[in-house]
Structure 1
Amino acid sequence: MEDVVNYLKTNFDLVDFDAGQENSTNGTKTFVFVIDEINRGEISKIFGELFFSIDPSYRGKKGSVKTQYSNLHNDEKEVFYVPENVYIIGSMNDIDRSVESFDFAMRRRFTWIEITAEQSAENMNLPQNIKERMIKLNEQISKTDGLNNSYHIGAAYFLDSNGNARQDIDNIWSLRIEPLLKEYLRGMPDSLEKIELLKNAFTA
């Protein structure tokens, strides 16, 4: 997600929001909310009145609504709306079980873009040798019964806490990738044999 934010800053001249900044120019600026793993909660409940306000046809003052907190003030002009220069970007993993909680009504309010494992490797500038191992592993994952492209391993598994590529292949496998693949294959027939094939594809 940090890479998404850095990309927006670099390519669209965005800066971190400062609540204390002057409001006079806010109408001409673009503001972006980035929500990592947006599907981890009950989306409709979390967004509340935003459910309607983020719809393109309800953006701006013309789509303003009164919220459940309207009784806390006496100003009739105090309404809630999402300005047209505010955008929401959410990330999610499509094999996460909670993806199903992202209902169709909410889905229609977003544009969907898939980021593949290979694209993540390019975005995070993985070294070629690591990238090749990742590609071979993902090719084997696609061939494995019970798995598919949605289970591909992305570039983040090959980075350290500072965002730099790791080269300790054995540790990457044993501490990061193997436990994840075992969880994916839990309860499936011949899981040990499948793990061995996946390991060979990665470490060969």
Structure 2
Amino acid sequence: MKEKFGLEDYIVGEVKNDKDKFVFIIDEINRGEISKIFGELFFSIDPDYRGIKGAVSTPYNSEEKLYIPENVYIIGTMNDIDRSVETFDFAMRRRFTFVEITADNSAQNMGLNEETKEIMHRLNNAIVDEGHLTQDYQIGASYFKNLDEGTLSIKNLWDYKLKPLLNDYFRGERLANDKMRALENAYFGTSED
């Protein structure tokens, strides 16, 4: 992002001008109730109401108004299949542009080596073909990064990270064991024979 948008590191105390760009990143944005987190500034998140024209009063100080400057970009990340959180409400959805990052995109962005990408690709194809889930359930590169770096073995990654996650995907399904066996074979590159 720094290169693509010409962003610079923030230096405490350094005065910036209106042309400088600032990025505010909220990881797992859908885990909080964003309208309450932003409070009165919820209205000002909308790009059409950025800057002074979108200034809002607060109940704490009627003379001072708050606004989000036009040179502040808010990026939120989210896992849209996370069952433990509610979906993004329509009022908030309208205030953001959504860009999907696929599992393959994440492997490319994180610079996984070809061998690790192949393992990830085999498993993700099996999630769709054998597990009969959509691509939304494919597993991203962050799970495979330690494998790529050599700090986690292929067996330990399966046993302690991937298998528990996939078991949750198929919890309560009649053919869960068969699907898990097929996914394990795909992951390790073995056949059922």
Secondary structure at the aligned position of 1:119 is classed as helix
Q: Give the direction of change, closer, same or farther, for the CA distance of 1:109–1:64 in structure 2 (3 Å limit).
A: same
What aligned pairs does 1:153-172 form with structure 2 within 5 A after superposition?
A: 153-160=139-146, 164=149, 168-172=153-157
Question: Quick check: 1:51 aligned with 2:42?
Answer: yes
Q: Aligned runs of 1:33-182 on 2, under 5 Å? A: 33-70=24-61, 76=63, 78-97=64-83, 100-145=86-131, 147-160=133-146, 164=149, 168-182=153-167
Separation in 2, partners of 1:97, 1:109? 23
* CA separation of 1:123 and 1:166: change in aligned 2, threshold 3 A: farther
Between the aligned residues of both structures, percent identity stands at 55
In structure 1, the partner of 2:18 is 27
C-alpha deviation, 1:14, in angstroms: 1.8
Give secondary structure in 2 for the equivalent of 1:28.
coil
> 2:45, 2:95 within 8 Å by CA — same for their partners in 1?
yes
Give, in whole Å, the separation in 2 of the partners of 1:166 and 1:120: 19
Tell me the TM-score normalised to structure 1 length: 0.85
User: Take 1:68 and 1:47, find their aligned partners in 2: how far apart are those partners?
Assistant: 14
Count of aligned residue pairs for this structure pair? 189
For 1:63, the aligned partner's letter is G
When you count strand as a share of all residues, which structure comes out higher?
A: 2
Runs of 5+ consecutive residues of structure 2 not aligned to the other structure: none
Amino acid at match of 1:70: N
Change in CA separation of 1:51 and 1:26 when aligned onto 2, cut-off 3 Å? same
Distance 2:37 2:87 in 1: 12
Q: Which runs of 5+ in 1 are unaligned?
A: 1-7
SS at match of 2:164: helix
Give the equivalent residue in structure 2 for 1:186.
171
Q: What is the TM-score normalised by the length of structure 2?
A: 0.90
Is the 1:42–1:101 contact (alpha carbons within 8 Å) kept by the matching residues of 2? no
Taking the aligned partners of 2:146 and 2:129, their CA distance within structure 1 comes to 28
Query: Separation in 2 of the partners of 1:118 and 1:101?
Result: 24
How far residue 143 of structure 1 moved from its aligned partner, in angstroms, is: 2.1
Supply the RMSD in Å over aligned alpha carbons: 2.0
Q: Tell me the distance in 2 between the aligned counterparts of 1:84 and 1:135.
A: 40
Q: Report deviation, 1:146.
A: 5.6
Deviating above 3 A after TM superposition, structure 1's stretches of 4 or more consecutive aligned residues are 98-101, 163-167
CA deviations on 1:74-112 (whole Å, 9 max, x unpaired) are xx3x21011110110000001012553410011000000
Q: Displacement, 1:147?
A: 2.3
Cα separation, 1, equivalents of 2:133 and 2:183: 12
3-state DSSP of counterpart to 2:70: coil
Matching residue of 1:17:
10
